Structures are given as structure tokens and as C-alpha cells.
Amino acid sequence: MNTVVLIGRLGTEPVLTETKDSHSRTVIQLAVPRSYKNQDGIYETDFFRCVLWNGIAKRAKEYCKKGDTVCVKGRLQVRDYLDEHEEKKYITEVIAESISFVSSVKNKEENS
């Protein structure tokens, strides 16, 4: 079974694009802190590329902003491409099946 659930903060503003066949697509970077400290006593953060399609993509663009905390559920996908030197490169990304809005930067600012 290929399932991943991540809770983290949006590292970028969601940008909505349209494919040639009229599908909506949004790519977000999700910053997820690790649950343990490194040898220097610091919590490190992992950054995940998440791809959202169609309705999920549109909702993320409409309701999410950089810094918001969200939960992404989806599957991992590995794909390859050729770089400018014709070398094969691999990229791992999360293909989102759902996104839940946990908290927003706007709400935190209003409550302060």
C-alpha cells in the first residue's frame, strides 16, 4: 500500500496552473519538522513537493497561504526526466488525494 500523511506548513504560496487538457494543477512545498532533535539540539525540517489536481488544487489556491498548517494525504510517486546535460534525474513527490486545513497564518494574526 502506498499511502503517506504529512502535516506541515506551506513553504510557498499555492500557484494554480492549467494543463493543455484543461486540468487544474497546484504544486506546493510542505515543510514538515522532524519529531526529534539532531546532535546540535535542533529540530530539522524536511521539505516535500506535493502535487494537487483539479478540485483539490483549486481549493488550496483559494484557501491556503504561505505559512498555513495543512494535512496532506496521498501517495508517493517517483518519476524521471532528462536534465540539460541529458542525464536522467529522479524526483519523488506526493500526489495529494486530500488536503485538510489545520490552521492559517491569517487566523493566528487576527487572534494576536
Interatomic CA distance for residues 112 and 101, integer angstroms: 20
Per-residue pLDDT band at 105 (split at 50, 70, 90): low
Contact, 92 vs 77, CB < 8 A?
yes
Cα(85)–Cα(64) distance, integer angstroms = 37
| Per-residue pLDDT tens digits for 9-30 | 999 999 999 999 999 999 999 9
Smallest CA-to-CA distance from 74 within 91, 109, 98, 102 is with 98
CATH class as words, domain 4-111: mainly beta
Residue 108 has pLDDT above 80, yes or no: no
